[in-house]
Amino acid sequence: MDIELRGITKRFGPVVANSDVNLTIRSGEIFGLLGENGAGKSTLMNVLSGLYRPDEGEILIDGKPVRFEGAGDAIRAGIGMVHQHFMLVPVFTVAENVVLGVEPTGRLDHLDLKTARRQVREIGAQHGLVVDPDAIIEEVPVGIQQRVEIIKVLFRSADVLIFDEPTAVLTPQEVEDFFGIVRSLRDAGKALVFITHKLFEILEVADRISVLRGGKIVGEGDPKTATEADLAEMMVGRPVSFTVDKAPKAPGPALLEISDLKVLNDRHEVAVDNVSLNVRAGEIVGIAGVQGNGQTELVEALTGLRPTVGGAITFLGEDVTRASTRDLHARGIAHVPEDRQRDGLIEDFTIAENMVLDSYYDDRFSTGLNMHWQKVHEETARIVTEFDVRTSSVFDLAGHLSGGNQQKLVVARELSREIKLLIASQPTRGVDVGSIEYIHERIVAARDAGVGVIVVSTELDEIRGLSDRILVMFRGRVVAEFDSASATVAQLGLAMAGAAA
Amino acid sequence: MSEPGKLDAISSDLLKRAVADRFNGEEMILVPVLSVVLALAIGAIVMLATGVGFGSIGQSYLALFTGSVGSVNAISETLTAAAPLTLAGLGIALGFRAGLFNIGAEGQLILGGIAAVAVGFALTDTPAWIHLPLALLAGALAGAAWAAIAGWLKAATGAHEVITTIMLNLIALRLVDYLLRNPPIQKPGRADPISQSVLPSAELPRLLTWIDPNLRVHAGILLVVAAVAIVYWLLFRTTKGFEFRAAGANPDAARYAGMRSGLIIVLVMATAGALAGLAGANQVLGVLGRASPGFSGGAGFDAIAVALLGRSHPVGVLLAGLLFGALQAGGREMQVAAGVSIDLISIIQALVIVFMAAPTLVRATIPWVFTKQVGR
């Protein structure tokens, strides 16, 4: 089944999300759609999956124009979407989730779960999507949940599968498995659309690439010949540097010392297991590791968000093991949380309100009970300009910013005051290439100004590019330490998999 | 780095407020107004269905109008009825802003009323300028303390405030009943549950007796205006209000920003309770002069609707309180003049709440009024 989008334009009020977009999706092919956050990728795919009606243009299936009145029409036409945020019922089994809404029923509307389980196994076997139909969704890893989403779409006999940022939540190993699945679906004759802003992924898996910028198709690329630099330039509209420019710098005096730290996770299991490390002024310490190996709990303990059960944290010679979040903040520790939308900012608050979210009590912004909003707004306007947060007004809601600009807002807030230590978790997750470059520059600038930095990331490139020293965490322990100049990807990868332990 | 001059130019652009977009205006003003219109329309259908003729329906709504805003007396009655609803509604709105669903205004209100009565009759030979503030303060403190219990339970144990405030309402109801039947609150020589009378020095003075000695509107409405201003200031101009709103909009982000959620919860509940307690004090010191079972007239529950209707904004709550006050004042007139049961007012109030809670319903019922269509 081939699909053609012809002259698609979609407007939201004065905002043109898609402008005269033409593209073709063919069966037996993986089509990569590349673009920064806010480039219009999701709008375009929502048009294709029937959620939005285009203002202009038409959709042709095998040459015949079609009109989708809703998502149901698109599904019946064989177009299925695997969303970035999974739409699964956590307490249901795999099979129950797959058949939800189109359940096989027997006599007297009896729910035929036996057939459902068989069908799930069949589809799984056919495409290499191995899952246990009886597993409960909330108990299986994210990679498996994604497989269930794919099976769900295949169960509804989709011939066109759209993947919206499918790798954002996966570990490197799961990404590899996922690529295998995508390739086998292509070989089975399905048409696949792969939406992402990660360049190397699209180069690895796509057969054909189109780049979307500002709602328009600005270029096409052949994955065999295109380079990351080419694609990035098309995507951002200017040349982008992938290497972090960083002058060598001798670290200063000791800043943070952690000894034998022990922290429990929410299930009361040991998540951080006797970790000792230190950070000195003017150095970037990278903490690498596959998601879920204790990095989150370590950061929460360091920022006063999670109690410790053993060991000690010393900051500038003072014991801060039991210090509160506010106290640590006042001592000059800044925190860029890993989940910015949940923990880093308040989407219903204005940009200005978010800018002072953790410093509103400061003398600069308030006296006693009274907030000085005029000062807050002026200061925010200054910081927003300095940190290149793209917005038209400081009164805009943070929720209206693109992901990259939200992250820049959080980074700007944390770096725009006098700090001694920066703890940045996944500082560029879900952020577009242009913003990544900028955020990296700011982190290095902070380090050059004598700030100690801890960067926690699951992206090896980011860790290697930024860090002066790299620690690898595996099952709650620091299992390896590397000088970033000499560490290879292979060494780090092995350590992350636990081989060095 | 851009030179300072350029930075200033860009910054001043950023300081301009965006023109309020139309969709928001519809949400804030059109939906509430249409909710009331729709509720009145369905109220008419209900009257038709119960055998009230067209003429009587017209007469009823006319009476509703004249009884609420048609004369000085009507306006006085509307303001008198609006005062406790607005005060308690402000407290509930404050809770909503902080993510707390405080069902307990009724309990806080009646305990506040009892405390105000107690101070109101106990302090003899005290000048009014001391006595009245003390009585009001007693009402606010009693409400605050009662609400703080629910706040503390949530902060310390995670107990949900909806459950605890409902339970505290029941306890408060029985406690007040007990107090009204026993000394020292009970009026000496009476067997029925009724309190001693508030001394004149603790009464909220009536404001319009120079026009007509029967006009009941009293200084409590000045209290209401002050409370609206104070709650607005608290929510939008202070650091505590910033914390309240942050904790309500995103508790995780508030915690990550170093705010202490437990303290915030207790403070919000106590402030909400103080406002409900003031509402109770307002009733006993301004209207009734004493307390008896059911003296609140359910104002603590109606106040939930007032807070919802006012979109948890202090000014909105004031307008919603005035509307509900008008419905109550007009409803009495409607009963007298048109013979339509005052229960209809409860139906209209309930319908307003239904429409306010489901704005999509309003949009779907009269879609042509809105620029933005449902589901698109």
Chain A / chain B CB contacts < 8 angstroms: 99
Shortest CA gap A424–chain B (Å): 13
Helix (H) or strand (E) holding B335: helix B314-338
For residue B18, give the amino acid letter.
A
Q: Are B108 and B146 in contact (CB under 8 A)?
A: yes
Residue of B nearest to A50 (CA): B376
Q: How many other C-beta atoms can be found within 10 angstroms of the C-beta atom of residue B51?
A: 7
CATH 3.20.20.150 corresponds to the domain A3-236: no
Chain B residue numbers with beta carbons less than 8 Å from the beta carbon of A386 are 7
- Give the tokens for residue A336: 């860029």
d(CA B56, CA B62): 9
Residues 316-345 of A with CB under 8 A from B: 324-326, 328-329, 335, 337, 342-345
Give residues with Cβ within 8 angstroms of A234, minimum separation 6: A34, A211, A213, A218, A219, A221
d(CA A212, CA A39): 6
Interface predicted TM-score (ipTM)? 0.84
Q: How many CA atoms lie within 13 A of B269 on its CB side?
A: 30
d(CA A258, CA A473): 15
pLDDT of residue B3: 42
Nearest by Cα to A308 from A190, A500, A476: A476
Low-confidence stretches of chain B (pLDDT beneath 70): 1-12, 18-25, 371-376
Which pLDDT tens digit goes with each residue over A377-432?
Answer: 999 999 998 888 888 889 989 988 877 889 999 999 999 989 999 999 999 877 77
Low-confidence stretches of chain A (pLDDT beneath 70): 169, 171-172, 242, 500-501
B246/A contact by beta carbon, under 8 A: yes
d(CA B278, CA B44): 36
Domain coordinates in residue numbering, chain B: 104-309
Domain coordinates in residue numbering, chain A: 3-236, 254-332+418-496
d(CA A10, CA A19): 7
Chain B residue numbers with beta carbons less than 8 Å from the beta carbon of A53 are 376
Residues 42-61 of A with CB under 8 A from B: 53
Fill in the DSSP letter of residue A138. Answer: G
**pTM to 2 decimals?**
0.80
Which pLDDT tens digit goes with each residue over A432-447?
Answer: 777 888 899 999 999 9
pLDDT of residue B230: 97
Q: Are A209 and A221 in contact (CB under 8 A)?
A: yes
DSSP secondary structure string for all residues of A434-479: HHHHHHHHHHHHHHHTT-EEEEE-S-HHHHHHH-SEEEEEETTEEE
Chain B residue numbers with beta carbons less than 8 Å from the beta carbon of A393 are 13-18
Mapped onto helix, strand or coil, the DSSP state of residue B6 is helix
Shortest CA gap A379–chain B (Å): 9
- Give the tokens for residue B323: 């509307």
Q: Are A352 and A380 in contact (CB under 8 A)?
A: yes
Q: Are B114 and B181 in contact (CB under 8 A)?
A: no
What is the CATH superfamily name and number for domain A254-332+418-496?
A: P-loop containing nucleotide triphosphate hydrolases (3.40.50.300)
pLDDT of residue B23: 52
d(CA A325, CA A302): 9
Helix (H) or strand (E) holding B61: helix B54-69
